[in-house]
Amino acid sequence: MKVCVVGASGKLGRYLVQHCLARGDEVVGVCRAQSVAKLADFGERIEVVPGATNDPEVIRRALEGCDAALVVLVPWGVQGYATGTAQAVLDHAAPEARLVFSCGWHISRDGQDVYSLGFRLLLAVFGRIARLLRYADLDDQVEACRRVFASERRWTVVRGSDLEEGESQGLPLWSRHVQDPLLASNLTRRIDFALFMVEALRDDGLIHEAPAIVGCQTASARAHA
Ligand SMILES: NC(=O)c1ccc[n+]([C@@H]2O[C@H](COP(=O)([O-])OP(=O)(O)OC[C@H]3O[C@@H](n4cnc5c(N)ncnc54)[C@H](OP(=O)(O)O)[C@@H]3O)[C@@H](O)[C@H]2O)c1
């Protein structure tokens, strides 16, 4: 499979590249020009297309001949970066391409997610301050995902819990709604978030799903699996 990793130079992106290479996939990575050096460890094993991930021409070129795309959606800045990234991928991926996007639990596909008061307060305070400082715009990621959900492409939106570093513990478990007790531990290893996204490429059961994930070794996962 030829896979385009959009946002390849970040922490999640580099794990995505690592998992794809381990499976023998051919990888094209897209990242900002100033971040190309972060992919140096992969050497000649991947093709790198430098450029902004919301630049339609960059994405069109990177997606040429790809069977799938793994897309890291980040809400940084206030210029609609995540929305532009999602739209460019939706516009330029091959019609049958498998598309897997990342985001956080705060995205709700059907409005049926029930969030704790603490979570809602954190979102409201962080969201307002981040926007005021022009550091991030959480609504941008919401709009990006709204466009993905509305699309007829073969998409999956993987909603990450809080993340931590560490060795892989295995494939995370998932649920359609964040209030599921299975997810109560709210923690996943970043390397396993990437593993879930890469596995989703070959799991047609996840097409048009927005799984909220949790580490398979967490207390809630062990108790409710
Ligand atoms: N962090 C968490 O606790 C958490 C929790 C749940 C879900 N998630 C989701 O996980 C995914 C990855 O998040 P992460 O926190 O682990 O980040 P990450 O993998 O380190 O990725 C950050 C990405 O943002 C890019 N970036 C940084 N500053 C930017 C800017 N000013 N303009 C444009 N792009 C910029 C980076 O590109 P460069 O390499 O070019 O800097 C990189 O591709 C996201 O979809 C996020 O919503 C994260």
Q: Is 132 exposed, middle or buried (0-12, 13-18, 19+ CB in 10 A)?
A: exposed
Give tens-digit pLDDT for 58-90.
Answer: 999 999 999 999 999 999 998 999 999 999 999
Alpha-carbon distance of 161 to 140, in angstroms, equals 19
CA–centroid distance, 129 to ligand 1, in Å, is: 18
Query: For residue range 107-148, what is the model confidence (pLDDT) as tens digits?
Result: 999 999 999 999 999 999 999 999 999 999 999 999 999 999
pLDDT tens per residue, range 190-206: 999 999 999 999 999 99
How is the chain split into domains, by residue range?
2-224
Q: Which residue's C-alpha comes closest to atom 22 of ligand 1?
A: 10
Please, what CATH class does the domain formed by 2-224 belong to? alpha beta
Nearest CA to ligand 1 atom 42: 10
